[in-house]
């Protein structure tokens, strides 16, 4: 039993690694042979959110222009994590309409797995930026830039594979994803405003009632 768990973990980690270096093949395995892990994906996402808080505060002073006196780690964490959750939800909503074959879980796995290169370069940035001068900051920026490009490539490759799309259609679906995200945010704000008005109404009716008694 213990060995079986261990071997499963090893396999999942192996496919995480190979998704970084061979995204098309690895995401194919993940999508069609169940080699991915939702648990691992969520773990990466949460780790990424925490890492963003860490980088906000602990990136070296020379390139860290954040106002630390007004730092709010909960807001940073939620902004990043909910941003990706919003992307996943809206991508799923768009691709279901556009004959995408990927399920919500598949999209989650692809999005979170493709954060791995960015996470690694971010760790590099936080560490190295504490030992550099302004003239060497370019090195850190270049490495982070490579991480961003790599992650974007993984994301594109992964979405291509899981939805069984061509490259052009993937790009179009990502554009529509952002449109859908905007609509979702609009609806969310509308919802909360209306709920607030309703709550205020109920409270004022209650107060009126208590005063008349």
62 binds another protein (CB under 8 A): yes
For 192, the token pair is 């909360």
Nearer to another protein, 1 or 133 (CB): 133
Exactly one of 1, 34, 39, 131 binds another protein (CB under 8 A); that residue is 131
Range 122-129, long-range pairs (CB < 8 A, 24+ positions): 122/48, 122/51, 122/52, 122/55, 122/147, 123/51, 125/55, 125/59, 126/51, 126/54, 126/55, 126/58, 126/59, 128/60, 129/59, 129/60, 129/62, 129/63, 129/64
Nearest distance from residue 142's CB to another protein, in Å?
A: 18
Fill in the per-residue mask, 145 to 184: x = in contact with another protein (CB under 8 A), - = not in contact: ----------------------------------------
127 binds another protein (CB under 8 A): no
Exactly one of 2, 34, 65, 210 binds another protein (CB under 8 A); that residue is 65
| Number of residues engaging another protein in binding (CB under 8 A) | 9
61 binds another protein (CB under 8 A): yes
- The residue range among 120-128, 133-141, 142-150, 157-165 that interacts with another protein, by the rule CB under 8 A, is 133-141
Tell which residue, 149, 150, 144, has the closest CA to residue 132: 144
Exactly one of 133, 168, 211, 213 binds another protein (CB under 8 A); that residue is 133
Q: How many CB atoms lie within 10 A of CB 35?
A: 20
Residues lying near another protein in the complex (CB under 8 A):
61-63, 65, 67, 131, 133-135
């Amino acid at each position: 039993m213990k060995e079986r768990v261990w071997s499963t973990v090893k396999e999942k980690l192996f496919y995480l690694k190979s998704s970084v270096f061979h995204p098309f093949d690895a995401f194919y395995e993940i999508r069609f042979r169940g080699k991915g892990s939702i648990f691992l994906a969520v773990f990466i996402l949460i780790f990424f959110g925490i890492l963003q808080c860490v980088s906000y505060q602990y990136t070296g002073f020379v390139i860290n222009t954040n106002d630390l006196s007004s730092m709010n780690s909960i807001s940073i964490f939620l902004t990043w994590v909910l941003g990706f959750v919003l992307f996943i939800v809206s991508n799923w909503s768009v691709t279901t309409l556009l004959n995408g074959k990927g399920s919500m879980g598949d999209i989650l796995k692809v999005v979170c797995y493709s954060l791995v290169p960015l996470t690694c370069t971010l760790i590099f940035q936080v560490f190295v930026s504490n030992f550099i001068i302004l003239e060497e900051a370019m090195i850190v920026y270049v490495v982070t830039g490579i991480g961003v490009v790599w992650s974007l490539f993984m994301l594109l490759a992964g979405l291509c594979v899981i939805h069984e799309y061509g490259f052009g259609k993937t790009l179009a679906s990502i554009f529509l994803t952002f449109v859908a995200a905007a609509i979702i945010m609009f609806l969310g704000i509308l919802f909360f405003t209306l709920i607030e008005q309703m709550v205020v109404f109920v409270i004022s009716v209650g107060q009126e009632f208590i005063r008349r008694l």
